[in-house]
C-alpha cells in the first residue's frame, strides 16, 4: 500500500500479485470443500446438541437428560437419551412459553439438574423439573 501511495508500483500490479498468491489457496479450498462442509455441519450439530443437554439421567444413570420437542404435539419436554434405545422411560414436562436453557445448578432439595426459564417481561427463574421434588410441595402450600 505504501508503495502504491509513493507511486513506486501500480495498483493493478499489486492486485495481480495478490491474485497469484491467493489462487493456489482457493483451489485447495475448492478441492476440500465437501470435507470441510461435512466437518462444519457435524460440529454445528454437536454444539446444538450440547446446548440442550441438561445433565445425567437420575432415573437410569446411563443416559443424559436433553430438551426435546414432540413431533406429534410440538411441545417441549425433557427426556433421557436412553429412551431411543428402549432402556429408560424418563420424561418430564417443561413450560411451553419462553425459552428454556440448562442451568449449572442442581436442586438443593432433591439434587436433580435444573433448567432456567426466561419469559419476555418477567424475571428469569430456575426450575427443578422433578415432579416429586419436595420444593414443589412447599411452593404449592401442601407442607
Q: Residue 4: is its pLDDT beyond 70? A: no
CA distance 106 to 113: 4
Stretch 87-100: mean pLDDT: 89
Q: Which residues contact 24 (CB under 8 A, 6 or more apart)?
A: none
Orientation of helix 33-52 relative to helix 11-31, angle to 10°: 70
Output phi, psi for 102, to 5 deg: -60, 145
Burial 70-86, CB ≥16 within 10 A → b, else e: eeeeeebbbbbbbbeee
CB–CB of 127/95 below 8 Å?
yes
Q: What does the pLDDT look like over 26-80, one tens digit per residue?
A: 999 999 999 999 999 999 999 988 888 988 888 888 889 999 998 999 999 999 9
Predicted structure pTM score: 0.67
Amino acid at each position: 500500500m505504501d508503495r502504491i501511495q509513493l507511486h513506486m508500483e501500480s495498483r493493478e500490479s499489486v492486485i495481480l500479485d495478490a491474485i497469484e498468491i491467493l489462487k493456489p489457496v482457493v483451489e485447495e479450498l475448492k478441492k476440500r470443500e465437501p470435507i470441510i462442509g461435512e466437518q462444519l455441519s457435524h460440529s454445528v450439530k454437536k454444539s446444538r446438541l450440547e446446548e440442550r443437554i441438561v445433565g445425567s439421567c437420575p432415573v437410569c444413570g446411563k443416559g443424559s437428560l436433553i430438551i426435546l420437542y414432540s413431533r406429534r404435539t410440538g411441545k417441549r419436554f425433557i427426556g433421557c437419551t436412553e429412551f431411543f434405545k428402549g432402556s429408560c422411560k424418563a420424561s418430564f414436562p417443561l413450560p411451553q412459553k419462553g425459552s428454556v436453557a440448562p442451568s449449572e445448578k442442581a436442586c438443593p432439595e432433591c439434587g436433580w439438574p435444573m433448567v432456567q426459564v426466561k419469559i419476555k417481561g418477567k424475571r428469569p427463574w430456575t426450575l427443578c423439573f422433578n415432579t416429586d421434588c419436595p420444593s414443589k410441595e412447599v411452593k404449592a402450600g401442601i407442607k
